[in-house]
Chain A
Amino acid sequence: MTKKVKTIVLTGNGTNCEMEMAHACRLAGSAVVDIVHISELLYGEKRLGDYHFLNLPGGFLDGDDLGSAKAGANRIVHANIRKKKEKLYKQLINFIKDGKLILGVCNGFQLMVKLGLLPAFEGDYATPTVTLTFNESGRFEARWVYLKVNGDSPCVFTKGLEGLYLPVRHGEGKIVTKSPAILKRLHTNNQIVVQYSDETYERTVMDYPDNPNGSVAAVAGICDETGRIFGLMPHPEAYLHYTNHPRWTREDLPEDGAGLSVFRNAVDFIKKAF
């Protein structure tokens, strides 16, 4: 049992949701929340190992110029820690091995799938088997979506949740699996955590705009087999207070936004596990 949850929110090279993601972690009860520029990791001033919870926020890593987060993934894999014979990637893999939590949102999720951190069947965190590509509308989509939460998923971030209403803001959010077998496996393992749904959170939807990007099986977010690594396209950090809700002026809503529960779950899990 630890009381002092330490969170790192990684930023730099085009990431842009780090402030609100850090705010979410603070509200969720993390004692330490550091927004860390990747150069601080590469200069050895900060180490991933000193934290419990890694947040990979949304943004446009390197402008998504080579495809979303592609250049960013290339950096994580190949960048060296300065003056040391150590790769940043090694720190990341060790972080996962230590049973710690990673949450990737939007561009952070894109980064995770392109690195192979998700869905990472049988602990293979290096081989991509799914990807995120251009929305079928051919456009950037900024709109709120209903998400059905898979109660059978091992995902620690969505424990106790049935549905979420969150904004998406992306041009490349359509999930494509390498083969139908991969999709089947995601289903079988309950690694599909959230799916675009109707407003009752019951029926998953393939129709635009409720499914804003045409994702296969309406998938909006997936986790690894342990449930400790989770990525999704919608932004839980964008709904921390009721005034973020698009209809707060006409609906009765609780003080806290639904997105906050994702971070609370993470922090509570760490408090128990470490």
Chain B
Amino acid sequence: MVHRIEVGFRQGIRDVLGEKTGRKITEHLGIDVTAVKTIEVYTIDGDIAEGELAAVASGPLSDPIIQEYAIDRGIATGFDWLIEVGFRPGVTDNVGKTAREAIELLLGTQGSVDVYTSRQYALKGDLGRSDAERIASGLLANELIQHYEIISKKEWISAQGVPPYIPRVIIKDDPTIEEIDLAVSNEELQKISNTRVLALAVDEMKIIRDHLLGETVLHGRRKAGLSEKVTDVEMECLAQTWSEHCKHKIFNSLITYEDENGALTTIDSLFSSCIKKATQKIREALGEDDWCLSVFVDNAGIIRFNDEYNLVFKVETHNSPSALDPYGGALTGIVGVNRDPFGTGKGSKLIFNTDVFCFASPFHNKPLPPRVLHPRRIYDGVREGVEHGGNKSGIPTVNGCLVFDERYLGKPLVYCGTGGIMPARIHGEATHNKTILPGDIIIMTGGRIGKDGIHGATFSSEELNEDSPVTAVQIGDPITQKKMTDFLLIARDRNLYRAITDNGAGGLSSSVGEMATLCGGCEIDLKKAPLKYAGLKPWEILISEAQERMTLAVTPEKCKAFLALAAKMNVEATRLGTFTDSGMFHVRYGEKTVAYLDMEFLHDGVPRMQLNARWTPPRHEEPAFPEPKDMGSALKELLSRLNICSKESVVRQYDHEVQGGSVVKPMVGVVNDGPSDAAVIRPLLDSFEGVVVANGICPRYSDIDTYHMAACAIDEAVRNTIAVGGSLERMAGIDNFCWCDPVESEKTPDGRYKLAQLVRANRALYDYTTAYGVPCISGKDSMKNDYIIGKTKISIPPTLLFSTMGKIKDVRKAVTMDAKQTGDLVYVLGETREELGGSEWFALHGLVGNAVPKVNAQKAKKLYQSLSRAIDRRLVASCHDCSDGGLGIALAETAFAGGLGMDVSLSLVPRKGIRRDDYLLFSESQSRFVVTVSPEAQEAFEGSMAGSTFACIGKVISGGTLRVAGIHGETILEEAISSLKEAWQKPLDF
């Protein structure tokens, strides 16, 4: 029997969700509605008595103080249109799951009911059916994952309400295995790859075909009950393992690079020759003091924090799913990256999140290409997904940024990063290593497997196109994950498992497959895997990316205790098989073997790509616009740029203080609204040692030269860290490359150029990480950030996010960016050059220019070391880095964050080759800071900075005015800090 319980707010109680929805309808769609009321609907499928229904409705499902409920009738009244939005079959319904558990507990029964949730929006207003349709499809429901129903006032019969809709997954349980014949033409092979979303190249498929024909291979297969044909399970497993997403084929390819003079060089894997090699060089230089513990080999990188603890860090992207379902995609992005440091070494406790989003303007007002969601919808959805994922997991979101460029319209970038802390040793054993022995039991724990997230790995290895699969989208469940991590941390401390890894892209295929390399084989039975619903094919079970799952290696003698603790803590854990040393990735479904692949072939059989790159430096129009007459307005215009303006409305929706170790918050200053350069947290509440988290990202410079784009991104992250009191002594980096397809093809005729851009960015990464001694400890690449539908192609600008995690020895010495005291001296550190190429100032004029900022690492390093020492000696009152918008923005922000005025003279600014005041104010030369120093500390500070470029350019004044004298001495700018702040705060205040 199916029942519906509807819950709405009582008369006189504000329905803020309804009000917010009403505002969004107006803001997003331009449709005026008079009122919106929301009603939560629980559709209960199962045997449940009438009295019990009332107990359920009045108990867990409604709040007697503010809500009322109706059973099996409609509760909505006084509307013109009623829109009900529910999930499609198989989509994760977290609220439904919680409701089911609550009902079962209340009734004292198990497995008696299923609950599906939906929400009604009762709209009042002068609307036609087409308006209601637009509201439903354009805002309230994402048709990929949700369905909706629209009922007009006329059609409505309240005694009947909306007929129950049950999105139950009904699939015939048919666990058959298909054999795929690869002895076919190239066209046929390509077709197989396309229709199955394998993202495999024809050559790769041929290699698989030939491998299976090998004499010993075939003999083994026959013994296992297989033939020379590949099974669908094997095909999917290979496609996942060999995907660009998992194998980083482009980063590991052999590249012939041609420079602008036609000189050729061969690059044997960008990953090995640039990223890994740089880290290796830095570690060698550190020698005995090497604090890197585990780099590039695990789900995240590990460094030493102190003798007792290690730090773990990883940043991931979740771009493609976020393009299709911004909320679910981003939520899965954050809870997904949480599992990386959690599944690294013996597992770490998660201590911070950092998120960076790249969107098109939320004010985009041009027609949208097919399948593209409006950037405002993406902005809201991603923001909310990360809010729910981060806040509900109890991990503080301490740092991040938003970057805007029209070219993120086709694919937004959603970077999510997480740090963790782990004891250096547990029961005497080092925690940063992973070992597995043959005979260890394979256990999967956490959530169940469904059709959600099938082909995530392969789908994200292609551009977003018409056939991008809906199943690739998942919705995370932070609470299921929290319950699992609570359990696993206890299990870890009791030494109940030997190794742990997460189930992310590729699901079990990847987690078990990669763990099996540590011992040399595995044997698992997919029939044992717990499913959300029946009807999954064995290959789907193997590669499903259903969330909240970890895979563990448990020694046989501890298996019982592990499973008992799981049961006690109400977390599902299932034995799936055994790790072996057979050399085979052996998968069964019950007794039948469904995959039997040589481990070596699985992991190393993928053919190496050979690619060509050619660098032709682009030339842009050299800007020629007059110096603005009103520099104050110019500054305000810049402050209102999306890339510069305040992001406080987003920041305040993320919990950045949970866990109690917040030291430097995202917003600082006299009224807590100035933009912090980096975050400082104290992960151990009984110690003053802290962690500094920062990031650098500047994709605009890619339009000129990705070498300098990458150099600037690295410099930005490093100087942000220095600005709050961190040092170069122990700072680790994470590289996240998001590129547009750099492989030359029909779809990508400019592939050589894009690959050259990638090469140059990597060279800069090598040059600057080694120069600063900031090793990358882990990273990620996402190489297909293009959108191609019909004739429209949108490619993102090549984007490198460089994230850092550093150590500060004593958080009590940290510094914030707000001016502190009237009379303090204002210094500019570093040299300003005429480097406005790719700057916000040029972008404001619709220009790019050519003089991209270049980083002088040797000078910068010296400056950073001196500044770190000055901060450590408590000589610095405030410190703010100069980034987007340059010196002008940094001065304005320093002043208004401190609620103080400033009187400065540009003629005193150390500079080279600049003759215009606007250029001096807005050049984006790197490695610069605005610092304020109390007069008592002047001498010591200047002594401390000796040998670096710096100058005192004025002082902090009372009265709330920023006054700037130009190069020639006259006042060029005099603005109230309140009006500067207003310009900065206004744009994204929604």
Mark A residues whose CB is within 8 Å of B.
Answer: 11-17, 19-20, 23, 37, 39, 43, 58-60, 62-67, 70-71, 73-75, 78-79, 114, 128-131, 133-144, 167, 169, 176-178, 214, 235, 237-238, 240, 243-244, 246-247, 249-250
Residue of B nearest to A43 (CB): B568
Binary per-residue interface labels of chain B (82-120) against chain A in the complex, 1 for a CB within 8 Å, 0 otherwise: 000000000000110111011001101000000000000
Which residues of B are found within 8 Å of A128, using beta-carbon distances?
Answer: 63-65
Q: Judge whether B818 is part of the interface by a CB distance below 8 angstroms.
A: yes
Cβ-defined contact, B98 with A63, below 8 A: yes
Cβ-defined contact, A244 with B660, below 8 A: yes
Having A130-B65, A246-B672, one finds 19 other A-B pairs with CB under 8 Å, namely A13-B482, A13-B483, A20-B661, A39-B570, A43-B568, A65-B94, A71-B98, A73-B60, A74-B102, A79-B105, A114-B63, A128-B63, A133-B66, A177-B65, A214-B14, A235-B657, A244-B660, A247-B668, A249-B814
Q: Distance in Å from the Cβ of B988 to the closest Cβ of chain A?
A: 14
Residue of B nearest to A140 (CB): B653
Which residues of B are found within 8 Å of A43, using beta-carbon distances?
Answer: 568
Cβ-defined contact, B660 with A23, below 8 A: yes
Interface window among B388-396, B427-435, B849-857: B388-396
Cβ-defined contact, B65 with A176, below 8 A: yes
Cβ-defined contact, A131 with B65, below 8 A: yes
- Given the known inter-chain contacts A58-B658, A60-B391, A143-B672, please indicate yes or no for A176 contacting B13, CB distance below 8 A: yes
Cβ-defined contact, B659 with A20, below 8 A: yes
Near A by CB (< 8 A), chain B positions 294-324 give: none
Q: How far is the CA of A247 from the CA of B657 in the complex (A)?
A: 14
Q: Distance in Å from the Cβ of B547 to the closest Cβ of chain A?
A: 14
Q: Judge whether B682 is part of the interface by a CB distance below 8 angstroms.
A: yes
Cβ-defined contact, B660 with A70, below 8 A: no
Q: How far is the CA of A246 from the CA of B897 in the complex (A)?
A: 12
A-B residue pairs in contact (CB < 8 Å), sample of 14:
A16-B659, A60-B479, A62-B98, A62-B479, A63-B392, A74-B105, A75-B102, A133-B13, A141-B652, A142-B657, A176-B65, A240-B685, A244-B660, A249-B814
Q: Distance in Å from the Cβ of B597 to the closest Cβ of chain A?
A: 39
Q: How far is the CA of A148 from the CA of B645 in the complex (A)?
A: 34
Cβ-defined contact, A78 with B106, below 8 A: yes
Interface window among B16-24, B265-273, B584-592, B950-958: B16-24
Cβ-defined contact, A138 with B65, below 8 A: no
B60, B99, B651, B814: most-surrounded residue (chain A CB, <10 A):
B60
Which residues of A are found within 8 Å of B101, using beta-carbon distances?
Answer: 62, 71
Cβ-defined contact, B17 with A138, below 8 A: yes
Contact of A138 among B16, B97, B660 (CB under 8 A): B16
Which residues of B are found within 8 Å of A19, using beta-carbon distances?
Answer: 659-660, 685
Cβ-defined contact, A238 with B63, below 8 A: no
- Given the known inter-chain contacts A136-B16, A138-B17, please indicate yes or no for A74 contacting B65, CB distance below 8 A: no
Q: How far is the CA of A244 from the CA of B673 in the complex (A)?
A: 16
Which residues of B are found within 8 Å of A13, using beta-carbon distances?
Answer: 479, 482-483
- Given the known inter-chain contacts A60-B391, A140-B653, please indicate yes or no for A249 contacting B668, CB distance below 8 A: yes
Q: How far is the CA of A142 from the CA of B666 in the complex (A)?
A: 11
Main SS at interface, chain A: mixed
Q: Distance in Å from the Cβ of A55 to the closest Cβ of chain B?
A: 13
Near A by CB (< 8 A), chain B positions 95-151 give: 95, 97-99, 101-102, 105-106, 108
Cβ-defined contact, B479 with A247, below 8 A: no
Cβ-defined contact, B672 with A237, below 8 A: no
Which residues of B are found within 8 Å of A140, using beta-carbon distances?
Answer: 387, 391, 652-655
Cβ-defined contact, A65 with B99, below 8 A: yes
Q: Judge whether B293 is part of the interface by a CB distance below 8 angstroms.
A: no
Residue of A nearest to B682 (CB): A243
Contact of B660 among A17, A176, A250 (CB under 8 A): A17
Cβ-defined contact, A23 with B685, below 8 A: yes
B62, B478, B569: most-surrounded residue (chain A CB, <10 A):
B569
Q: Distance in Å from the Cβ of A145 to the closest Cβ of chain B?
A: 11
Near A by CB (< 8 A), chain B positions 652-686 give: 652-665, 667-670, 672, 682, 685-686
Q: Distance in Å from the Cβ of B68 to the closest Cβ of chain A?
A: 13
Cβ-defined contact, B391 with A238, below 8 A: no
Q: How far is the CA of A15 from the CA of B659 in the complex (A)?
A: 11
Q: Distance in Å from the Cβ of B421 to the closest Cβ of chain A?
A: 11
Cβ-defined contact, B654 with A142, below 8 A: yes
Near A by CB (< 8 A), chain B positions 628-665 give: 651-665
Near A by CB (< 8 A), chain B positions 665-716 give: 665, 667-670, 672, 682, 685-686
Cβ-defined contact, B105 with A136, below 8 A: no
Which residues of A are found within 8 Å of B387, using beta-carbon distances?
Answer: 140
A73, A167, A246: most-surrounded residue (chain B CB, <10 A):
A246
Q: Distance in Å from the Cβ of A185 to the closest Cβ of chain B?
A: 15
Residue of B nearest to A250 (CB): B820
Which residues of B are found within 8 Å of A214, using beta-carbon distances?
Answer: 14
- Given the known inter-chain contacts A43-B568, A144-B672, A249-B816, please indicate yes or no for A20 contacting B685, CB distance below 8 A: yes
- Given the known inter-chain contacts A17-B658, A138-B20, A169-B658, please indicate yes or no for A70 contacting B818, CB distance below 8 A: no
Which residues of A are found within 8 Å of B14, using beta-carbon distances?
Answer: 136, 214
Cβ-defined contact, A74 with B479, below 8 A: no
Cβ-defined contact, A60 with B392, below 8 A: yes
Q: Distance in Å from the Cβ of B912 to the closest Cβ of chain A?
A: 33
Which residues of A are found within 8 Å of B63, using beta-carbon distances?
Answer: 67, 70, 114, 128, 131, 133
Near A by CB (< 8 A), chain B positions 479-499 give: 479, 482-483, 486, 490
B64, B483, B658, B898: most-surrounded residue (chain A CB, <10 A):
B658
Cβ-defined contact, B394 with A71, below 8 A: no
Q: How far is the CA of A15 from the CA of B663 in the complex (A)?
A: 22
Near A by CB (< 8 A), chain B positions 4-55 give: 13-14, 16-17, 19-20
Cβ-defined contact, A11 with B17, below 8 A: no
Q: How far is the CA of A246 from the CA of B656 in the complex (A)?
A: 12
Near A by CB (< 8 A), chain B positions 750-768 give: none
Which residues of B are found within 8 Å of A16, using beta-carbon distances?
Answer: 393-394, 482, 658-659
Which residues of A are found within 8 Å of B651, using beta-carbon distances?
Answer: 142
Q: Distance in Å from the Cβ of A113 to the closest Cβ of chain B?
A: 9
6 A-B pairs with the lowest CB-CB distances in the bound complex, closest first: A16-B394, A20-B660, A65-B98, A138-B20, A131-B65, A74-B60
Q: Distance in Å from the Cβ of B844 to the closest Cβ of chain A?
A: 30
Residue of A nearest to B690 (CB): A243
Q: How far is the CA of A177 from the CA of B17 in the complex (A)?
A: 20
Cβ-defined contact, A12 with B486, below 8 A: yes
Residue of A nearest to B567 (CB): A39
Q: How far is the CA of A17 from the CA of B105 in the complex (A)?
A: 25
Q: How far is the CA of A250 from the CA of B941 in the complex (A)?
A: 19
Binary per-residue interface labels of chain B (562-593) against chain A in the complex, 1 for a CB within 8 Å, 0 otherwise: 00000011100000000000000000000000
Contact of A129 among B65, B482, B662, B811 (CB under 8 A): B65
- Given the known inter-chain contacts A135-B16, A244-B663, please indicate yes or no for A74 contacting B818, CB distance below 8 A: no
Cβ-defined contact, B816 with A134, below 8 A: no
Cβ-defined contact, B672 with A142, below 8 A: no
Cβ-defined contact, A244 with B662, below 8 A: yes
Q: Judge whether B815 is part of the interface by a CB distance below 8 angstroms.
A: yes
Residue of A nearest to B812 (CB): A243
Residue of B nearest to A137 (CB): B16
Q: Distance in Å from the Cβ of A180 to the closest Cβ of chain B?
A: 11
Q: Distance in Å from the Cβ of B197 to the closest Cβ of chain A?
A: 31
Which residues of A are found within 8 Å of B570, using beta-carbon distances?
Answer: 39
Q: Judge whether B947 is part of the interface by a CB distance below 8 angstroms.
A: no
Residue of A nearest to B64 (CB): A128
- Given the known inter-chain contacts A13-B483, A60-B392, please indicate yes or no for A238 contacting B660, CB distance below 8 A: yes
Residue of A nearest to B65 (CB): A131
Q: Judge whether B61 is part of the interface by a CB distance below 8 angstroms.
A: yes
Residue of B nearest to A16 (CB): B394
Q: How far is the CA of A74 from the CA of B393 in the complex (A)?
A: 21
Cβ-defined contact, A66 with B482, below 8 A: no
Near A by CB (< 8 A), chain B positions 385-405 give: 387, 391-394
Q: Judge whether B59 is part of the interface by a CB distance below 8 angstroms.
A: yes
Residue of B nearest to A214 (CB): B14
Which residues of A are found within 8 Å of B669, using beta-carbon distances?
Answer: 247, 250
Contact of A37 among B95, B569, B653, B682 (CB under 8 A): B569
